[in-house]
Copies of this chain bind each other. A is one copy, B any other.
Amino acid sequence: MAIKAPCSLLMLLGIVFLASICVSSRSDQDQENPFIFNSNRFQTLFENENGHIRLLQRFDKRSKIFENLQNYRLLEYHSKPHTLFLPQHNDADFILVVVSGKAILTVLNPNNRNSFNLERGDTIKLPAGTLGYLANRDDNKDLRVLDLAIPVNRPGQFQSFSLSESENQQSFLSGFSKNILEAAFNSNYEEIERVLIEENEQEPQHRRGLRKDERRQQSQEANVIVKVSREQIEELSKNAKSSSRRSESSESEPINLRNQKPIYSNKFGNFFEITPEKNPQLKDLDILVNYAEIREGSLLLPHFNSRATVIVAVEEGKGEFELVGQRNENQQEQREYEEDEQQQERSQQVQRYRARLSPGDVYVIPAGHPIVVTASSDLSLLGFGINAENNQRNFLAGEEDNVISQIERPVKEVAFPGSAQDVESLLKNQRQSYFANAQPQQREREEGRSQRQREPISSILGAF
């Protein structure tokens, strides 16, 4: 009988284990568009009156189709004017882009220090293990920064090591024992504690001297993101360099996304891009960064990335995307234990994935997947591309860079129901390239507005 109790316990554990699998797969079915991450999928890591840090859900935990994004995380940093994010380092590489506001980023090395004045669009790599701090140097405007984090120790997980003691985070210095700290700093522990490490609350009353209130006040401030004075900001600004205006950036200086010549531009929108081929900072991480502005009522024409998977964050505005995938893409997770894993590769049913976009939303465009983005108000999109080297953007409509128009006539003849001539004449209807009017007037006049009511039933309304 003695063996029965642990046996039941184990059985129970087994059930809990199996139940947890069932539950998680059911909750995945609820959300049938895995490509959209609404802003509520960010989790707040830290928040106080001076700002916050939020971390997006792991891509690979959302869906198995993002297994290759396992080691990429998206972070959002937000802070009030005249604040400072205290010194810390992380076990992850960061690609940092200023979304709005003005900042001073200071990067510390063993024997020098670099400070950079950053403004909207500035992009810089902060290598793993770099001790640094970030100030909002603007008098009025909030600072918003988006970071792509690429952990070095554990796939998809990273840690921050803070030099400053606060309510939320202990100083990593306090991790060393007293005698080690005394030997390291060649000082007695009381002095080290008083100067470098915040006193904890259990400390006996008599040790607190005249500086106690002072320290208390700082303690409330010393909360990862702290207020600083205008004078302190000015002092930090003194040696700060601004981002390079040249298109080839250096190994460590920021480069501004929006100061580049746009790679696609017309009256409906602009598209800026920094690629690893041209930027040494992005080369070893094999990342591209791009920035698209789509004017209200316009669309980014249907296209696909040849090899990059792009994580896009909505900065401003509203709109919608349509992404074309395979029908089974989202259902493959259920089948992972099945023997005949290859069956899934047979059915080639096309599936439309749609979602409305608002500021703070994130979506993922896997390599090869055709996508269109429409703007119902001026829309700004910041994209981080993974596996970026030699990526090519193939457009499927528009006058330039349209791969369909490159198809030879005999192939057009057999590949499409219309004749080659029909195809070519149809392709010429769109005189714009890259960006176009989402409600073209010509069509409006000819046909009226009736048809825009017709909605395909089979589409998946991801974010509605």
Given A129-B368, A426-B192; A400-B439 close (CB under 8 Å): no
Q: Mark A416-437, 1 if CB is under 8 A from B, else 0.
A: 1110001100110111100011
Q: Which of A44-59 contact B (CB under 8 A)?
A: 45, 55, 57-58
Asked if B196 and A236 make an inter-chain contact with CB atoms under 8 angstroms apart, the answer reads: no
- A384-396, CB under 8 A of B: which get 1 and which 0? 0001011111111
With contacts A184-B397, A196-B416 taken as known, whether A109 is within 8 angstroms of B350 at the C-beta atoms is: no
Stretch in A140-148, A152-160, A311-319 with 4+ CB within 8 Å of B: A152-160
Chain A residues 190-218 with CB under 8 Å of chain B are 191-192, 194-199, 211, 215, 218
Contact status of A443 and B188, CB under 8 A, knowing A153-B68, A173-B396? yes
Q: Is A413 an interface residue (CB 8 A)?
A: yes
Residue of B at shortest CB range from A447? B188
Docked Cα-Cα span, A160 to B316, in Å, equals 34
Q: Report the bound CA distance from A7 to B93 in whole Å.
A: 45
Pair A183/B456 contact, Cβ less than 8 Å: no
Closest residue of B by beta carbon distance from A20 = B337
In the complex the two chains form, is A368's CB within 8 Å of B410's CB? Answer: no
Q: Which partner residue on chain B sits nearest A410 by CB separation? A: B232
CB pair B184 A436 closer than 8 Å: yes
Contacts A417-B198, A417-B215, A440-B182 given; indicate if A348 touches B160 (C-beta within 8 A): yes
A407 touches B87 (CB 8 A): yes
One of B162, B164, B345 near A45 (C-beta < 8 A):
B345
For A322, the chain B residues whose CB sits under 8 A away are 175-177, 180
- Which of A21, A302, A345, A416 counts the most B-chain CB atoms under 10 A from its CB? A416
CB pair A184 B392 closer than 8 Å: no
Give, as a whole number of angstroms, the nearest-CB distance from A237 to chain B. 10
Q: Is A378 an interface residue (CB 8 A)?
A: no
Q: Return A300 CB to nearest CB of chain B, in Å.
A: 10
Taking a contact as CB atoms under 8 Å apart, the answer to whether A57 and B342 are in contact is: yes
Query: A324 interface residue, CB < 8 Å from B?
Result: yes
**A5 in the interface, Cβ–Cβ < 8 Å?**
no
Instruction: Considering the complex, give the chain B residue whose CB is closest to the CB of A306.
Output: B129
Of the candidates B154, B341, B390, B452, the one whose C-beta lies within 8 Å of that of A58 is B341
Q: Interface size on A (CB < 8 Å)? A: 185
Q: Closest chain B residue to A413 by CB distance?
A: B232
A85-120 interface (Cβ within 8 A of B): 86-87, 89-91, 93, 106, 108-113, 115
CB distance A159 to B324 under 8 Å? no
A111, A133, A152, A332: residue with the most chain B Cβ atoms closer than 10 Å: A152
Residues of B within 8 A of A277 (CB): none
* Bound Cα distance A64, B130 (Å): 24
A426 to B193 CA separation, bound complex (whole angstroms)? 11
Instruction: Say yes or no: A172 contacts B87, CB within 8 Å.
Output: no
User: By CB atoms of chain B within 10 A, which of A87, A348, A443 has the most?
Assistant: A348
Contacts A109-B403, A174-B350, A195-B422 known; A345 to B218 CB distance under 8 Å? no
Residues of chain B with a CB closer than 8 A to A79's CB: none
A171 to chain B, nearest CB (A): 7
Q: Which residues in B have their C-beta under 8 angstroms from that of A432?
A: 186
Q: Across the interface, which residues of B come within 8 angstroms of A326, CB to CB?
A: 159
- Could you tell me the distance in whole angstroms from the C-beta of A224 to the nearest C-beta in chain B? 9
Most buried by B among A175, A222, A446: A175
Given that A128-B368, A306-B128, A348-B168 are known contacts, is A235 also in contact with B408, CB under 8 Å in the complex? yes
A368's contact among B89, B155, B325, by CB below 8 Å, is which?
B89
Known: A304-B89, A430-B185. A218 touches B45 (CB 8 A): no
Asked if B306 contacts A127 (CB within 8 A), the reply is yes
- Tell whether, in the assembled complex, residue A439 and residue B232 are in contact, meaning their CB atoms are under 8 Å apart: no
Q: Which residues of B contact A215 (CB under 8 A)?
A: 417
A438: B residues at CB distance < 8 A: 183
Does A374 touch B at the CB level, under 8 Å? yes
**Chain B, Cβ-Cβ closest to A251:** B390
A91 close to B367 (CB less than 8 A): yes
18 contacts between A and B (CB under 8 A): A86-B414, A89-B368, A106-B411, A128-B307, A128-B368, A129-B305, A157-B344, A163-B407, A170-B349, A173-B370, A177-B322, A180-B372, A184-B436, A186-B430, A194-B417, A195-B423, A198-B417, A236-B411
